[in-house]
């Protein structure tokens, strides 16, 4: 057992300050446990958002020693408690109170992305057949818990506040999950280029580093989307090839495809 | 009991952060690594000499000069060097006299462009050279930001064209490695052999292949653009192979960068020294 000092940011949208709190650290504790202990012992009015304590709800996002992390997944034995441990709200979004931020901007952004538009059902029972290898890639993106740590660490949002021009890594992952889906027929590339600002991403991979679900955001979602945008808008050879041989996204797959592979029923 | 300090929660300004780790180490190492390579490769390109070695029957060519379009002239005698690798012979007579000539000038733009526009290096040098950002969750020096959304950095989308050229270069470098396996004896007969230089040149091809064939653009072009992998099983296998290399793209990038520089150093060394023959 040891004593740790926490510098916790206290305040609201108008401003605030760091306050120091001391608490006992026991084996197996995570940062969220320590925050709760401080809340019980010496700061009953400390606001902190949390829910599952299992790294699956994405509620307890904060900055621990300057790095965006889920407090419930940050073990105290990974932190040097000889120095004060800094805990701050995520900085990319407005503070509501103490460690709680207003992340509602993200939900508004999500509405701007064109929805999933599946092709017409190709099976007799009115459903689809999808080969597993076709959905392997997008299943990684479905792990996202929307903790918005990637949004927080992205310097385009965090430092440059391009909230009107750039949707951030979380929603590029969302767009990738839709755009790479084998059933989807919607075209989002023009939006990605013009409205969603994919060009603002300069591939620092900070989003990938902080993702608690270990989604390879930059390499598997953002760069493939950048390449798709390059295909469409920046590659003259591809333009020519598309004009000569290209097809638009198929509204319906060839009949032979249905049932041709080991498949999954999608309803 | 809580005590109050005055540190603000939201910080701005270059280098401001609450991070307690040595966040500056990685960008500093990147800066030093890339700067060293740029300085050395520029120096090596300007030499226009010692870029091949025929000592003791060997046939080694520096990757900074491969493919050799035209051989350079000896700076002392003025005669053309004979690397045995020149595709079009000696330095062309039409080359303007006021311009320095080096075979490296004519080809180095391609690998340089490939690395400059590489997705890994972009992220690395934006941090290390532009501090944009200096590191994750660390304050930046500038307020304005255009990213790769407009000129000049929108040009980075040209990466795939450099990829095409880089793949061609792999064939040239593989051929150089093959020629490094043949040694000419006193009677003029070429015999198979392996010297340290052979291994150095072969490893260069190995590392450059791992880097080039794990390129993000190649990953897209070989299959990433598709949504129905099941319709193209061979493409799917190729995509998986490229994806496998792509997972370690940073490692391949640094290994290949170091080794291509080392290969040039070694060939320069061999230009006047004997290589150690293994076979």
Of A66, A95, A181, the CB nearest to B19: A66
Residue A81 lies inside a defined structural domain of this protein: yes
pLDDT over 80 at B7, yes or no: no
Query: What is the predicted pLDDT for the residue at B172?
Result: 98
Residue A39 lies in a domain: yes
* Span between the terminal Cα atoms of chain B, in Å: 77
Query: How far is B81 from B113, CA to CA, in rounded Å?
Result: 28
What is residue A80's DSSP assignment?
-
Q: Which residues of A touch B117 (CB under 8 A)?
A: none
* Number of structural domains in chain A: 2
Residue from A112, A218, A212, A204 nearest A169 by CA: A218
CB pairs under 8 A between A and B: 164
Residues A20 and A59 in one domain: yes
A63, A226, A261 ranked by CB distance to B18: nearest: A63
> How confident is the model at residue A260, as a pLDDT?
41
Position B278 confidence tier, pLDDT thresholds 50, 70, 90 = confident
Nearest CB neighbour to A205, from listed B7, B21, B123: B123
Instruction: Quickly state the pLDDT bin for B271 (edges 50, 70, 90).
Output: confident
Do A214 and A196 fall into the same domain? yes
With cut-offs at 50, 70 and 90, classify the pLDDT of residue B11.
very low
Same domain, yes or no, for A231 and A116?
A: yes
pLDDT digits (tens, 9 = 90+) for B24-72: 999 999 999 999 999 999 999 999 999 999 988 999 999 999 999 999 9
Instruction: Tell me the backbone φ, ψ of residue A72, rounded to 5 degrees.
Output: -75, -15
Could you give the CA distance from residue B165 to residue B149 in angstroms, rounded to a whole number? 25
Identify the band that residue B242 occupies on the pLDDT scale cut at 50, 70 and 90: very high
Which letter, b or e, does each residue of A128-162 get, where b requires 16 or more Cβ atoms within 10 Å of its Cβ?
A: bbbbebbbebbebbeebbbbbbbbbbbbbbbbbeb
Q: Are residues A110 and A166 in the same domain?
A: yes
Residues A57 and A118 in one domain: no
B246/A contact by beta carbon, under 8 A: yes
* CB contacts, 8 Å: A182 with chain B: 227-228
In sequence order, what DSSP letters do the residues of A130-161 get, joined into one string?
EEHHHHHHHHHHTT-----HHHHH-HHHHTT-
Distance CA B183, CA B59 (A): 7
Domain assignment present for A156? yes
Q: Give residue B2's pLDDT.
A: 44
Over residues B198-208, the mean pLDDT reads 98
Q: Which of A101, A135, A163 is the last residue of a domain?
A: A101
The reported pLDDT for the residue numbered A261 is: 43
Cα angle A150, A156, A157; round to 5: 65
Q: Is B155 on the interface with A (CB under 8 A)?
A: no
Asked if residue A267 is part of any domain, the answer here is no
**Residues in chain A with pLDDT < 50?**
249-263, 267
Contact with chain B for residue A95, Cβ under 8 A = yes
Chain-chain contact of B225 with A231 (C-beta, under 8 angstroms): yes
ipTM for this model = 0.92
Same domain? For A130 and A218 the reply is: yes
The CATH number given to whatever domain includes residue A44 is: 3.10.20.30
Q: Which of residues 249-268 of B touch A (CB under 8 A)?
A: 249
The whole-angstrom separation of Cα B73 and Cα B95 is 12
User: Domain residue spans in chain B?
Assistant: 25-92+100-270
Final residue of a structural domain among A73, A101, A129 = A101
Confidence (pTM)? 0.92
pLDDT tens per residue across span B70-87: 999 998 888 999 999 999
> pLDDT of A34-44, one tens digit each?
999 999 999 99
Q: Which domain holds residue A217?
A: 104-262
Peptide bond connecting B17 to the previous residue in cis, omega within 30 degrees of 0 = no
Q: Residue A91's closest CA among A174, A39, A13, A205?
A: A13
Q: What is the pLDDT of residue A245?
A: 87
pLDDT on residue B86: 95
Question: Which CATH number covers residue A142?
Answer: 1.10.1060.10
Residues A164, A221, single domain; the answer is yes
- Mean pLDDT estimate for chain B: 93
- Whether B260 contacts B63, CB under 8 Å: yes
3-state secondary structure of A254: coil
Predicted confidence (pLDDT) per residue in B249-261, tens digit:
999 999 999 999 9
Are A76 and A9 in the same domain? yes
What is the predicted pLDDT for the residue at B13?
84
SS3 annotation, chain B = CCEECCCCCCCCCCCCCCCCCCCCHHHHHHHHHHHHHHHHHHHHHHHCCCCEECHHHCCEECHHHCCCCCECECCCCCCECCCCCCCCCECCCCCCCCCCCCHHHHHCHHHHHHHHCCHHHHHHHHHHCCCCCCCCCCCCCCCCCCCCCCCCHHHHHHHHHHHHHHHHHHHHHHHHHHHCCEEECCCCCEEECCEHHHHHHHHHHHHHHHHHCCCHHHHHHHHHCCCCHHHCHHHHHHHHHHHHHHCCHHHHHHHHHHHHHHHHHHHHHHCCCCCCECC
Instruction: Indicate if A135 and A47 belong to the same structural domain.
Output: no
Q: Is B234 on the interface with A (CB under 8 A)?
A: no
**Domain membership flag for residue A144:** yes
**Nearest-CA distance from B176 to chain A in Å?**
31
Q: Within a domain: residue A32?
A: yes
Interface contact flag, B137 A68, Cβ < 8 Å: yes
Residue A107's H or E segment, with its range, is: helix A104-112
From A50, A73, A101, the end of a domain falls on: A101
Do the chains contact at A231 and B220, CB–CB below 8 Å?
yes
Q: Is residue A226 part of a domain?
A: yes
A25 found inside a domain: yes
B204-233 pLDDT, tens digit each: 999 999 999 999 999 999 999 999 999 999
Q: For residue B15, how far is the Cα from the chain centroid?
A: 30
Report yes or no: A172 and A196 within 8 Å, Cβ to Cβ: yes
Contact residues, B window 179-208, toward A, CB-based 8 Å cutoff: none
The mean per-residue pLDDT over the stretch B231-247 comes to 97
**pLDDT value at residue B34:** 98
Show the tokens assigned to A173.
Answer: 């992952």
pLDDT value at position A259? Answer: 41
Q: Are A132 and A216 contained in the same domain?
A: yes
Residues A28 and A136 both lie in one domain: no
- Please indicate, yes or no, whether residues A126 and A168 belong to a single structural domain of this protein: yes
């Amino acid at each position: 057992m040891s004593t740790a000092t926490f510098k916790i940011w206290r305040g609201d949208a108008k401003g605030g300050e760091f306050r120091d709190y001391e608490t006992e650290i026991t084996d197996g504790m995570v940062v969220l446990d320590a925050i709760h202990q401080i809340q019980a012992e010496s700061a009953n009015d400390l606001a902190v958002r949390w829910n599952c304590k299992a790294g699956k709800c994405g509620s307890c996002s904060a900055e621990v020693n300057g790095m965006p992390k889920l407090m419930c997944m940050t073990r105290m034995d990974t932190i040097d408690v000889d120095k004060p441990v800094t805990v701050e709200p995520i900085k990319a979004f407005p503070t509501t109170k103490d460690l709680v931020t207003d992340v509602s901007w993200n939900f508004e952004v999500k509405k701007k992305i064109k929805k999933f538009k599946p092709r017409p059902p190709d099976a007799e029972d009115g459903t689809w057949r999808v080969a597993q290898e076709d959905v392997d890639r997008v299943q990684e993106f479905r792990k996202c818990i929307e903790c918005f740590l990637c949004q927080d660490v992205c310097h385009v949002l965090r430092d440059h506040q391009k909230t009107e021009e750039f949707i951030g890594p979380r929603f590029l992952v969302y767009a990738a999950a839709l755009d790479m889906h084998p059933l989807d027929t919607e075209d989002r590339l023009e939006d990605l280029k013009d409205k969603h600002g994919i060009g603002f991403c300069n591939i620092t991979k900070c989003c990938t580093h902080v993702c608690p679900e270990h989604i390879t955001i930059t390499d598997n979602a953002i760069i493939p989307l950048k390449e798709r945008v390059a295909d469409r808008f920046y590659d003259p050879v591809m333009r020519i090839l598309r004009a000569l041989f290209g097809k638009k996204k198929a509204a319906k797959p060839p009949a032979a495809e249905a049932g041709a592979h080991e498949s999954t029923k999608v309803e | 009991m809580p005590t109050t300090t005055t540190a603000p929660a939201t910080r701005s300004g270059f280098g401001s952060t609450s991070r307690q780790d040595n966040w500056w180490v990685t960008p500093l190492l990147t800066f030093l690594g890339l700067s060293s390579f740029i300085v050395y490769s520029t120096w090596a390109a300007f030499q226009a000499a010692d870029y091949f070695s025929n000592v003791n029957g060997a046939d080694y060519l520096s990757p900074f000069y491969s493919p050799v379009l035209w051989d350079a002239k000896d700076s002392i005698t003025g005669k053309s060097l004979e690397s045995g690798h020149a595709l079009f012979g000696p330095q062309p007579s039409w080359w303007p006299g006021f311009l320095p000539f080096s075979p490296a000038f004519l080809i180095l733009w391609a690998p340089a462009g490939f690395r400059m526009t590489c997705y890994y290096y972009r992220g690395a040098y934006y941090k290390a050279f532009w501090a944009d950002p200096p590191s994750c969750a660390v304050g930046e020096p500038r307020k304005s930001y255009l990213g790769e959304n407009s000129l000049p950095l929108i040009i980075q989308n040209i990466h795939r064209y450099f990829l095409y050229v880089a793949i061609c270069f792999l064939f040239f470098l593989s051929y150089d490695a093959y020629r490094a396996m043949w040694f000419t004896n006193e009677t003029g007969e070429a015999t198979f052999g392996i010297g340290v230089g052979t291994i150095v040149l072969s490893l260069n091809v190995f590392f450059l292949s791992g880097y080039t064939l794990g390129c993000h653009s190649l990953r897209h072009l070989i299959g990433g653009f598709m949504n129905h992998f099941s319709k193209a099983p061979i493409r799917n296998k190729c995509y998986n192979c490229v994806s496998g290399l792509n997972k370690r793209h940073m490692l391949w990038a640094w290994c290949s960068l170091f080794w291509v520089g080392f290969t040039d150093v070694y060939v320069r060394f061999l230009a006047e020294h004997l290589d150690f023959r293994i076979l």
